[in-house]
């Protein structure tokens, strides 16, 4: 059976919650992990407890993301797995009229730019080492509406869209890309008061180590472009998206969009 033994992984948002649980799981399965987080002291102490290295950095800054991958290269000798997990919510400030420009930029910067910069660096690093696996943390809010925090939902839909659309391009490079779509996980992001409220309402929460298992499954499964849903009491499952209505023009019923870029590249001449 395939395992993580000897694999080299970078995990963002690794100082807390899902990222920390996944770092622990990866290490217990024999991987070498570089833990990255914006919270310098928390990530340093988390890594020390695991006997691993850490780097402090902000995923919304392309140069800092480049620095994370450069450190993975120098301290791990390369990278086989990139788990792009860092993320934030708007929390109590989700009323659309009270979302300031700064707050909007902050959540887009962390949840969308952070994944994009991470994917770009990961592809470049993995191309040199013959392939690898990229996993991003999206959310159930990335495949369904989430009225509690619509801007968060926007960012997670972006992650799901990127993962599904990019997968075919990366197949030739032997890189898989998937995302994890958890329901509500009991982490500091949710907060103690909200977690307590949900429990009292009888709503089941997921523990972060369940998400870590799903990340391992996504890495080892070998499939790509999948959104892995993780809900309490279920095994992680690859979400089945419904097809969208295609054209209904005679001769082109249900036709798939051809890659029109090949014409401008002169590939069809």
Ligand X SMILES: NC(=O)c1ccc[n+]([C@@H]2O[C@H](COP(=O)([O-])OP(=O)(O)OC[C@H]3O[C@@H](n4cnc5c(N)ncnc54)[C@H](O)[C@@H]3O)[C@@H](O)[C@H]2O)c1
What gap in Å lies between CA 83 and CA 41, rounded to an integer? 20
Is 152 an active-site residue?
yes
Count of helices and strands (H, E) across the chain: 9, 8
Could you please report the per-residue DSSP string of 97-155?
Answer: GG--HHHHHHHHIIIIIHHHHHHHHHHHHHHHTT-EEEEEE--GGGTS--TT-HHHHHH
We find the least distance from the C-beta atom of residue 156 to ligand X, in angstroms, to be 7
Q: Is 137 in the site for ligand X (CB under 6 A)?
A: yes
Phi and psi at 260, nearest 5°, equal -70, -10
Count interface residues toward ligand X (CB under 6 A): 28
By CB under 6 A, residue 16 contacts ligand X:
yes
Report the site for ligand X in 197-226 (rule: CB under 6 A).
none
Can you tell me which of 157, 182, 212, 214 binds ligand X, judged by CB under 6 A?
A: 182
Cβ neighbours around 194 below 10 Å, total: 16
Closest CB to ligand X among residues 132, 182? 182
232-261 footprint of ligand X as x/- string (CB under 6 A): ------------------------------
Nearest to 85 by CA among 161, 137, 22, 8: 137
Binding positions for ligand X, 77-96, rule CB under 6 A: 85-88
Q: Which of 83, 104, 146, 152 is catalytic?
A: 152
- Per-position x/- string for 43-72, each x denoting binding to ligand X as judged by CB under 6 A, each - no binding: ---------------xxx------------
The nearest distance, CB 175 to ligand X, in angstroms, is: 21
Residue 152 CB, shortest distance to ligand X, in Å, is: 7
Binder among 8, 13, 35, 149 for ligand X (CB under 6 A): 13
CA terminus-to-terminus distance, the chain: 46
Binding residue for ligand X, selected from 32, 110, 133, 176, defined by CB under 6 A = 110
Q: Is 204 exposed, middle or buried (0-12, 13-18, 19+ CB in 10 A)?
A: exposed
32 part of the interface to ligand X, by CB under 6 A: no
Residue ranges in 111-130 that form contacts with ligand X under rule CB under 6 A:
114
Q: Which residues of 245-262 are buried (b: 16+ CB within 10 A; e: fewer)?
A: eeeeeeeeeeeeeeeeee
Instruction: Answer for the pair 97, 67: CB distance below 8 angstroms, yes or no.
Output: no
The residue behind tokens 């290269």 is 73
Q: Which residues are known to be catalytic?
A: 152
Binding site for ligand X (CB under 6 A): 12-13, 15-19, 37-39, 58-60, 85-88, 110, 114, 137, 139, 182, 184-185, 187-190
């Amino acid at each position: 059976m395939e395992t993580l033994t000897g694999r080299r992984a970078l995990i963002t948002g690794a100082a807390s919650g899902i990222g920390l649980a996944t770092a622990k799981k990866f290490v217990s399965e024999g991987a070498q992990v570089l833990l990255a987080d914006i919270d310098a002291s928390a990530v340093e102490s988390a890594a020390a407890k695991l006997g691993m290295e850490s780097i402090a950095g902000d995923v919304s800054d392309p140069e800092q993301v480049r620095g994370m991958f450069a450190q993975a290269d120098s301290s791990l000798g390369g990278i086989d797995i990139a788990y792009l997990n860092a993320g934030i919510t708007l929390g109590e400030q989700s009323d659309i009229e009270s979302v300031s420009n700064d707050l909007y930029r902050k959540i887009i910067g962390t949840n969308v730019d952070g994944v994009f910069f991470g994917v770009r660096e990961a592809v470049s690093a993995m191309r040199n080492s013959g392939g690898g696996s990229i996993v991003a943390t999206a959310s159930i809010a990335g495949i369904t509406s989430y009225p509690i925090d619509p801007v968060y939902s926007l960012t997670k839909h972006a992650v799901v869209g990127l993962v599904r659309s990019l997968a075919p391009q990366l197949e030739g490079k032997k890189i898989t890309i998937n995302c994890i779509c958890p329901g509500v996980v009991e982490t500091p992001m949710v907060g103690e008061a909200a977690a307590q409220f949900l429990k009292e309402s009888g709503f089941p929460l997921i523990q972060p180590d369940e998400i870590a298992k799903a990340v391992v499954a996504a890495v080892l499964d070998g499939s790509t472009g999948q959104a892995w849903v993780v809900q309490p009491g279920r095994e992680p499952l690859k979400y089945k998206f419904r097809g969208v209505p295609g054209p209904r023009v005679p001769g082109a019923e249900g036709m798939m969009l051809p890659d029109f870029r090949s014409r401008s590249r002169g590939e069809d001449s």
